[in-house]
Structure 1
Amino acid sequence: MDITLALLCGSLYFIGTNRVGYTLSSVLGSPIFIGFCLGLYFNDVTNGLAIGASIQLVYLGVILTGGNLPTDAVLAATIALPVALKTGLDADAAVALAVPFGVLGVFLDQMRRTSNSIWVRMGDKYAANGDAKGLWRCAFLYPELATILLRFVPVFVLTLFGTDAIISLLDMLPDWVISGFSVAGGLLPAMGFAIILLTIGKPKLMPYFFIGFFAVQYIGINTMAAAIFGACISLLVVFNMSKKESVE
């Protein structure tokens, strides 16, 4: 058990999901930032950033419609990253491990929203009586205390007692199961990009995306080569469209 790590992960989750001011919440709650912080802790910033970036890709297309949280990328990163950095899991396997915790985070968020309804009703009574201090407590103090209970405490406990259990389970699993995690996790970032393309209403661009993804994944071309091939394909498409328009 590592109390320092548990305190760090609990604090990162609390800070990353705290919406006070809405100033840096998107940055502080990004898996990349969490990967950087935990990479510093494990003295492996490169791997921390790589795993954090891979988790970030899965949630690129997630939209909080009406403020509803469909999945919790912050919890996914805070739980999966310590396990991955401790065990040496590759980024793809870490992504597959992270996704279920993202779903768990939705339930924690629903509990937070439910508790907020209590402070709203209490605040109405203070407002009716002209009690500004009581209203401030209901608007800020009580919700923050509830957030600490629902955000910091669960992650602290999970990291303190659950990380070693997860590591023991991973050690017991055969290699083919870990390989399966890697394969599944490798596809999830592609799904994140696919959701973005569907969101902007351009499903006809999907084939180009999958060509680029699988070229990088299986042929092994680097980022610069992918950019050059993409630019050439884009020019060919534009030229062909121009020819069709001139003929018409």
Structure 2
Amino acid sequence: MEISLVQGILIGLITAFCYSGQLLGIYTNRALVMSFFVGVVLGDIPTALTFGALAELAYMGFGVGAGGTVPPNPVGPGIVGTIMAITLKHQGVTPESALALSFPFAVLFQLVTTAIYTIFSGNVKWSRNAIEQGKYKRFNLIANSTYIAFSVAGFLIGLLAALSRPGLQAFVEALPSWLINGFSVAGGLIPAIGFAMIMSVMLEKSLTPYVLLGYICAAYLELPTMAVAMVGTVFALIQYYGKDKTIVGEESTKGNSQTTLMEEEDFSNGI
């Protein structure tokens, strides 16, 4: 599949919007969002959403940075990975293998992000000097310079990723089939690792049985996604309303104990 110049420009604009959107807190730099827009441009939304769902599971966990570590950037799979999954699927590249192949790009784009933050780290001092000198137009430019830099970098990344598709195809065709299959296996494990990282932070011991139940429903009973979600909803309601009854029971117990204490007190002395 060939990518035209117009499609490349559109992918560049999408990348600019999604990449710079992380500064606005609107979560446009999520892999699933970028995969969907790239799928619209390339005309293959099902493959894009399949890949985006895999990447989102993985990078939700990778987004939990341990200590001072910086996680990989989702722009790698969201843009480059989706392009590979759509344009190279006839060359044997599956969404799983595309996820594994796009991981180095995720690390590279995080280095770009760190470099941009480093370059514009003096914005606070420059903005203060501009205000003191009464140069408010200069202050406005400095205040928005980081956002502009992210937009420009995102556009260049998206455009180059789209126009470098022949190079990606040549690279994939040079790989042996057994290595592509290995990348598919590794890519299938990455979402599991990401989800495990999330559970290691959020999971409580009391909720472990429900996690095992969900795994049994999906892996052994082979229930569809909606059925597993409905089973989870049932147990969530049981857990929610069970807590209310427990609170009411505790309050009534406290009330009875207080009444018993009142009855046992001796008021013969008038106090």
Give the TM bin, normalised by the shorter chain. 0.7 to 0.9
Aligned to 1:72: 73
Q: Distance in 2 between matches of 1:129 and 1:66?
A: 40
Q: Identify if the C-alpha distance between structure 1 residues 42 and 203 changes in structure 2 by more than 3 Å, giving closer, same or farther.
A: farther
Deviations 1:214-245 (A, max 9, x none): 874688553256457778999xxxxxxxxxxx
The verdict on how the C-alpha distance between 1:208 and 1:181 changes in structure 2, with shifts beyond 3 A counting, is farther
**Equivalent AA in structure 2 for residue 158 of structure 1:** A
Equivalent of residue 182 in structure 1, options 179, 184, 191: 184
**Secondary structure, in 3 states, of the residue corresponding to 2:60?**
coil
Secondary structure, aligned partner of 2:121: helix
- Aligned pairs for 1:180-219 within 5 A: 180-202=182-204, 209=211, 216=218
Output the CA distance in 2 between the equivalents of 1:225 and 1:120. Answer: 52
Cα distance in 2 for partners of 1:112, 1:199 equals 30
Percent identity (aligned): 26
Distance in 2 between residues matched to 1:205 and 1:40, nearest whole Å? 39
Q: Which residue of 1 aligns with 2:154?
A: 151
Query: Is the 8 Å Cα contact of residues 116 and 143 (structure 1) preserved in structure 2?
Result: yes
Which has the larger displacement, 105-114 or 71-80?
71-80
Q: CA contact under 8 A between 1:71 and 1:102: conserved in structure 2?
A: yes
Asked whether the equivalents of residues 190 and 213 of structure 1 are also in contact (C-alpha less than 8 Å), the reply is no
Q: For 1:109 and 1:30, locate their aligned partners in 2 and report how far apart those are by CA, in whole Å.
A: 15
Unaligned runs of 5+ residues in structure 2 are 237-271
The answer (yes or no) to whether the contact 2:58–2:191 under 8 Å persists in 1 is yes
Q: Any runs of at least 4 consecutive aligned residues in structure 1 with deviations exceeding 6 A, and if so which?
A: 64-68, 203-208, 228-234
In 2, the alpha carbon distance for the partners of 1:129 and 1:153 equals 34
Give the direction of change, closer, same or farther, for the CA distance of 1:219–1:172 in structure 2 (3 Å limit).
farther
Q: Match of 1:239?
A: none
| Bigger Cα displacement from structure 2, 89-98 vs 207-216 | 207-216
Q: Is the 8 A contact 2:38 2:48 kept in 1?
A: yes
User: Distance in 2 between the 1:147 and 1:157 partners?
Assistant: 15
SS where residue 181 of structure 1 aligns?
helix
Q: Distance in 2 between matches of 1:152 and 1:81?
A: 16
Amino acid at match of 1:178: I
Equivalent position of 2:86 in the other structure: 85
Larger Rg: 2
TM-score (norm: length of structure 2): 0.71
Corresponding residue number in structure 2 for 1:242? none
Q: CA 1:104/1:93 → structure 2, altered by over 3 Å: closer, same or farther? A: same
- Residue type matched to 1:7 in 2? I
Aligned residues: 232
